[in-house]
Amino acid sequence: MDSENSACGNPNPNPTLGPSKLMLAFRFLRALSLVHRTTPASSRTCRGRRIERAAYASMAYSAGTGRGWSRAVLRRLHHRARRRAVAPRRLSTTAGNRAEALRQLVPGGAGMDYCTLLEETADYIKCLSMQVELMQGIVDSSSSYGP
């Protein structure tokens, strides 16, 4: 994260809580509250899945629609809400299908050209690791102060 800040000339010198991370935290916290309010206490697995979807949703919303992977995540989430079928994966028709395994891991990767895929992957990893850090921080705080 530090190298990213210095390389891009990020005006915010704080490596731990930049504005993007704060927005991410705010969105996730809001989604988490909603899940807590609306999911019955008995359905633990259901709540776990909803929290996971909230994590990806807040991640994608924070990244904005300027990224292929975030658009793909939001599409997938909205389609899931409307019809419970798994959408057929669009086969890659653009420049070759190098890095097949990576295409399956990065949302929207199947339809991207190789260069875009590499760019999107780097951004996806940054956001994903930020989300993991956030969730880990919440778990750690709750564990140390909880009952």
SS3 44: helix
Token pair in block for residue 70: 């975030």
Please say which residue, 83 or 101, places its beta carbon nearer to other proteins.
101
Q: Which stretch binds other proteins (CB under 8 A): 32-40, 74-82, 84-92?
A: 32-40
SS3 42: coil
Binders of other proteins among residues 55 to 114 (CB under 8 A) are: 55-56, 68, 94-95, 99, 101-102, 105-106, 112-114
Q: Which residue has 């609306």 as its token pair?
A: 38
In b/e form, how buried is each residue of 108-130, taking b as 16+ CB within 10 angstroms? bbbbbebeebeebbebbeebeeb
CB–CB of 75/92 below 8 Å?
Answer: no
CB of 147 to other proteins, least distance (A): 7
Site residues for other proteins per CB under 8 A: 3-4, 7, 16-17, 22, 25, 29, 32-33, 35-37, 41, 44-45, 47-49, 51-52, 55-56, 68, 94-95, 99, 101-102, 105-106, 112-116, 118-119, 121-122, 124-126, 128-129, 131-132, 135-143, 145-147
